[in-house]
A and B are shown apart, each in its own frame.
Chain A
């Protein structure tokens, strides 16, 4: 089991970039520890800005820095940066067209038993609704590295959600197919397509393996780019399938499932099932316990697919 969380990889990539480019700046809201950015702050103090527990200010200050040519990474728990600072993300980052990368750490239900204040189950919907805002949920540490390396090269704002805990690798270290804004097809199948993002990609991949044992051929698409959604890649992967199942660590409205259903219904109508968290405060538990409870683990996904194909 991999012990390196995606957030730790982010820190490594940002340190590498900061060493070469003094315009790379990281901002935190008393969140450097949670973000695994303590070593960045220690090694690059001149490129690190502590804002304190003030997420609105965090985002606007980042926008001010970016307007003066800085590559600003504002890093704060996903639950706070995506909703408490929502207007700042909309006005000062997207609308004003500043190069601020908004990184939501400990996303989804990462904080487990801390409850709904600390869960971000609305961030995909909220951020995707902002014109000019891009939304990315990388699946593992290797893809996180590729994504941050790509984001360092562009000039547009984006929201990136990372989980808190180390997650099992989806890709192998020396074999990480990655193209910016293109979904990655990680398994091919003929009966069903499972589309997942973020930490749901690994269980989706495992579900496909379980289904194979039952004689069901499932393809799996890693849609780390929620916005702009790779509609072309989705339609290509869904072509000829009886069923499309989306899996996300998010509320059932306005997230990956809604977008997948939009694209499929408009272009290649077929049955789409959205697997997501409920429209309610989630049950108390660790991420894995919560995923299992709502059928978002490999067994749950496989069961949904089997039942749908039988029905």
Chain B
């Protein structure tokens, strides 16, 4: 998992490059959700050589605006060519648009309008159960996104049907475009809210820690009779003090000086992490 933790910083640089090349992107959420998507794709049963394998695990990026991180992770997994993504993102006539589109390999469903992903995943999980297929279904939602009523319809249905092949993740970075989530539309005790809908709830103390995420995904897989939801406490803009915990970086396009600063910060963070991991040693292996 150490290599994965370090890779997150390399892919953050890819995300930065994609956004700057394309002239815009949702950089704050991209950075907060990096370890979540990276850990997921590390463990999911998906194969770029067999993208339509009926037994593949499914992932739907409900917070579709964080597509730049999905592109970086899919490229790392072999579904996409990262250089092509950087060259084409948001260009006239490009396939690489600012939200997931399922004409691209590895992308299951189109998203972008918030509050759809969990419902779609309920359908995928029901289909898996009907056909007795072994696959698991995952979705990633933003915490601001949770104000969408359709999500609570889906939470209700997944709990009702006890869909234990379904696992949802909340990128709990506490910020949305207008500011702090608790000021915009408070979630209060999210754990209790999800539990009340008959979900197994796991609080991931550091949602930017691949080991904690992997342990939570394993617990989800072991949990029978209920769907599982991870409340992954993340840092919006993770990777550089310039953008960390700043709502203004929700969709901020870095200028040249900011780009260079963020790149330096990402390298420094990676080096710090490598050092810490080396000291931590076997615990992370």
Contact = CB atoms under 8 A, between A and B. Distances in A.
B120 interface: yes
A178 interface: no
Given A60-B119, A67-B58, 9 more contacts: A56-B149, A57-B153, A57-B154, A64-B125, A68-B58, A87-B113, A91-B111, A91-B116, A92-B120
Interface of A: 22, 25, 46-47, 49, 51-52, 54, 56-57, 59-70, 72, 87-88, 91-92, 95-98
Interface residues of B, number: 30
B150 interface: yes
Which secondary structure characterizes the binding site on chain B? Answer: helix
Interface string B117-136: 00111111111101100000
Interface string B121-162: 111111110110000000000000000011001101100100
B212 interface: no
A221 to B, nearest CB: 36
B102 interface: yes
Contact of B124 (A54, A59, A67, A95): A67
Contact of B119 (A47, A56, A70, A97): A56
A96 B157 contact: no
Nearest to B107: A96
Nearest to B149: A56
B123 A64 contact: yes
A64 B58 CA distance: 10
Interface of B: 54, 58, 102, 108-113, 115-116, 119-128, 130-131, 149-150, 153-154, 156-157, 160
A65 B123 contact: yes
Contacts of B54: 68-69
A259 to B, nearest CB: 27
6 contacts: A64-B120, A64-B123, A65-B123, A68-B124, A68-B131, A92-B109
B126 A64 contact: yes
Nearest to A46: B130
Contacts of B130: 22, 25, 46-47, 70
B110 A69 contact: no
A69 B113 contact: no
Given A64-B123, A65-B126, A91 B113 contact: yes
A151 B54 CA distance: 23
A60 B120 contact: yes
Nearest to A66: B123
A70 B153 CA distance: 21
Nearest to B108: A67
Given A54-B157, A57-B154, A64 B119 contact: yes
